[in-house]
Amino acid sequence: MSGTVPHARTIIAFCVAAIVGYAVFSVWAVFWSTDAALRGDVVGTWKSFAVAAFAFWLGSSSGGKAAPSPEAPQPVTVTNPPSAPIPTTDIPEVEFGKDDR
- Signed CA dihedral, 52, 58, 61, 64: sign only: negative
Burial 7-26 (b: 16+ CB within 10 A, else e): eeeeeeeeeeeeeeeeeeeb
Per cent of the chain over pLDDT 70 is 84
* pTM, entire model: 0.51
Domain spans of the chain? 8-63
Q: For 19-23, 65-69, 73-77, which range has the lowest pLDDT when averaged over its residues?
A: 65-69
d(CA 37, CA 61): 36
| 1-19 per-position pLDDT tens digit | 566 777 889 988 998 999 9
